[in-house]
Amino acid sequence: MKKLLSYLGIFIILGLITFSLFYLVNINSAFDKKGEEKIITIVAGTGLAEIAQQLKDDDLIQSKNLFVLYARNSGLQAKLQAGEYQLSSAMSVRSIARAISKGKANSQEVKVQFIEGWTTKEMSSYLENQGMWQSEELLELIGFPQIDYRFEKDIEKPKDYSDRFDFLKDKPDYYGLEGYLFPDTYLLYQDAEIEDLVIKMLENFDRKLTTEMREEIKRQGRSIHEVITMASLIEKEATIKNGNNTDAKIISGLFWDRIKNGQALESCASLAYILGEYKTQYSLDDTAIESPYNTYRNRDLPPTPVSNPGFLAIEAAVYPTYTNYNYFLSPVGSDETVFSVTYEEHLRNKVKYLP
């Protein structure tokens, strides 16, 4: 009898552990990570069970009972508020419940706008200037630029989102999210947390990197991380204007050829990332900087992206145009890109177009 009771106790404990793990995983997981946003209206006086049913009917959550259980256990049942909400099945049960409990209606949204090619440092400074968060809050969450967390024992490693976003599985886990925060215009609730914004940006990236693009990357024998790193250089090197990425595709082909031929990329964008400033021309001392990001000293791509590229730069990295060009430059004050085949021709162009 005692043995039976012991087995029963173990069974109950294992059951509780299993349920707890199931509960924690599912309240923090999205029903459909590619889900589109929907606007729903919760009428005043609607009860918890009715709200849960409404969310399930709108395909925002998978389980009505799980939502009810979470709301009760977290003390949110009495805090759920009426209003119009913009929600998505890419949000977790926890995020949806918190949004409704805080009354995050559409009228309370604020807009943030990130420019293609901004670094995470520039994004964090922008958010601080907007009075939303301190710049360190974003960087602590997604990783400080140029830091390899394998060797930085005193700094907490950035949060890993690869379980939720497959495209991050190619990214070395000892670097941050530079390159993957898709630049766009975002609507945020006034009391949103910094992670809410990061999730929105990663979801946007996930949608923009189409199935066809992923298949093409795989067909080329490249990783998503390599392509996004290349795109981050192209974003800074090419003039992409009015939806035209023709020159960007040529630069892409030129850069991929350099890698194939074992040449250094010699991208000024990598030097700008190291130095934190853009120059029309960089000095010999600049090109000699000891850094894994220096593509003048090191062959192949830098270890991570050097900016957060937009869609047209990513498209150029995925679909390069191969030519017989070997060099290029951008004249000061011009949207034009001047290409050349020989180094001698390139030197003449430098004298002609650069101060």
pLDDT of res. 73: 87
Helix (H) or strand (E) holding 68: helix 64-73
Cβ burial of 183 (10 Å; 0-12, 13-18, 19+) is: buried
Q: What is the pLDDT of residue 200?
A: 94
What is the reported pLDDT for 301?
A: 97
Under a CB-based contact definition with an 8 Å cutoff, are residues 86 and 105 in contact? no
**pLDDT beneath 50: ranges in the chain:** none
Determine the pLDDT at residue 115: 96
Tell me what pLDDT residue 33 has: 65
| pLDDT of the residue at 136 | 93
CB 70 within 8 A of CB 94: yes
Tell me: the pLDDT tens digits for 64-112? 888 888 888 888 888 888 887 878 888 888 888 888 887 655 556 788 9
User: How many CB atoms sit inside 10 A of residue 27's CB?
Assistant: 20
pLDDT of residue 34: 66
Domains belonging to the chain, first-starting first, are: 2-104 (3.30.1490.480), 108-207 (no CATH), 211-353 (no CATH)
The 10s digit of each residue's pLDDT in 331-353 is 877 788 999 999 999 999 888 88
Q: What is the pLDDT of residue 41?
A: 84
